[in-house]
Amino acid sequence: MALLAMAATAFATGASAAERTKFEFWYGLTGDLGEVVANHCKLFNESQDKYEAICTGQGGYDKAEQNTIAAFRAKQHPTVVQIYDAGTVNFMLSGAIYPANKFAKDYNLDIDWSKYFPGIANYYATSKGEMWSFPYNSSTAVLYWNKDAWAKIGKDKAPATWAEFGEDLKALKAAGVDCGFAFDFDSWMNLEQFSAINGIPLATLENGYGGLGAEIAFNKTAFVDHMKDFKAWMDAGYARIQTNQTGKNLIQSFADGTCASTTSSIANHGTVHNTQVAGLNWDVAKLPVIDASKRTNSIVGGASLWVMEGKSKEEYEAAAAFLKYVTAPDTGEKYIAENTGYIPVTTAGFELLKSEGFYNDPKRSGRETAIESLTASDVTPLSRGIRLGNFTSIRAEVRSELEAAFAGQKTVEQAIDAAADRSNQILRRYEQTFKGKTLP
């Protein structure tokens, strides 16, 4: 009996020694991209035997944000969570965040924040430039264009301005191209990126970075005429609305050759290659602007990783090891770039990919255009990002009203004014909710 007891004790001690420190990581990406994140967790767990990331998909970015906030209130939240760009201000004011710059210092993460591309870092930094989350999967918007279609009108370069683009669409129609441009009602491409690269305010107080009292400005800018141009192109038969409701989304309609161009995230670059019809001759270019001599940097899309308050030192040590792994140039940025259309977030990651010939691969050629777009200028007060409360709801208002305008239910001006009015109501309610608080 004594021998059995000693054996049992020895087994228990060995099992305890081998047991890993676990922590929870919640992510918002779904589908193929969600599988990439899940595999990233698996690779981390296999890379060492001290820590274990318990990684759980939340079924979408919106749900990841909502579920995390609810879980924090119930004290059942994860240690790390992936939150998309639109949730930044909500998390900054939540009182639930362990700021990334402080976490990195406390847990000896040797991070040179200056190596992050400014167009990416500024979206997730405070007004003082302090990083509060770890950029992870990043993208920006680009123009996808069919080179053979443009060859029909004697051109071998993508249009640099929207005026040139409009003339090209007219010529493409005359040359027999049935659909020159596929678009939808997405705020990120049509409003947010358009405003950033043209140095146009989306809202007052430097797009909200100056405080919670910001008011919508997009109904008083060139954005109105920009959408009127889209409507005119649609009415003339040069362009076509493509959404899941019409049977094909933007990328599907471009990849199968239905439409000669579209605007979308660089993250879809791989999807176009994987789904394109045989012989499709295409490329990506920076989005057209109003004045090519005044282009400013585009803004980032995607998500970053946030560390939550209220966890044990052991869990934070495990999370620190995980964050070091998934954000490092070789085990983090390279992995994401190789398995998605997302781009590296630091100069070190970008240089590593270039040195290994990443962009020489025909399947990846053109992805560096996104970096060129994000670094087209020094970051300005109007191109560093958007810091508006409950921005997801504002995006929904813009989308809904644009849909009404293109369906002919309202004029473009009426629709955008309505979106602005309701967005301002959202901002005032948000400001009241956080009365007395200031943005970091």
**Domains, the chain, ordered by start:** 15-139+300-360 (3.40.190.10), 141-297+389-433 (3.40.190.10)
Give the SS3 label for residue 384.
coil
DSSP symbols for 283-326: EEEPPPBS-GGG------EEEEEEEESS--HHHHHHHHHHHHHH
Query: What is the pLDDT at residue 126?
Result: 92
For 72, 121, 186, 226, 423, the CA distances from 136, given in Å and listed in that order, are 22, 11, 22, 32, 29
* Longest alpha-carbon distance in the chain: 94
pLDDT digits (tens, 9 = 90+) for 327-381: 999 999 999 999 999 999 999 999 999 999 999 998 998 999 999 999 999 999 9
Give the SS3 label for residue 122.
helix
pTM above 0.85, yes or no: yes
Query: What is the pLDDT at residue 246?
Result: 85
Q: Check: CB of residue 222 under 8 Å from CB of residue 163.
A: no
Rounded to whole angstroms, the Cα distance separating 336 from 168 reads 35
CA triple 348-351-356, angle to 5 deg: 125
Rounded to whole angstroms, the Cα distance separating 369 from 415 reads 33
Who's near 46: CB < 8 A, 6+ residues apart?
A: none
Residues in the chain where the model's pLDDT stays below 70: 1-18
Query: What is the pLDDT at residue 18?
Result: 63
Q: Check: CB of residue 146 under 8 Å from CB of residue 281.
A: yes
User: Exposed, middle or buried, 109 (CB in 10 Å: 0-12/13-18/19+)?
Assistant: middle
Tokens of 49: 């035997």
Rounded to whole angstroms, the Cα distance separating 230 from 252 reads 20
- Amino acid identity, residue 395? R
pLDDT digits (tens, 9 = 90+) for 289-336: 999 999 999 999 999 999 999 999 999 999 999 999 999 999 999 999
The neighbour count for residue 222, using CB atoms within 10 Å, is 14
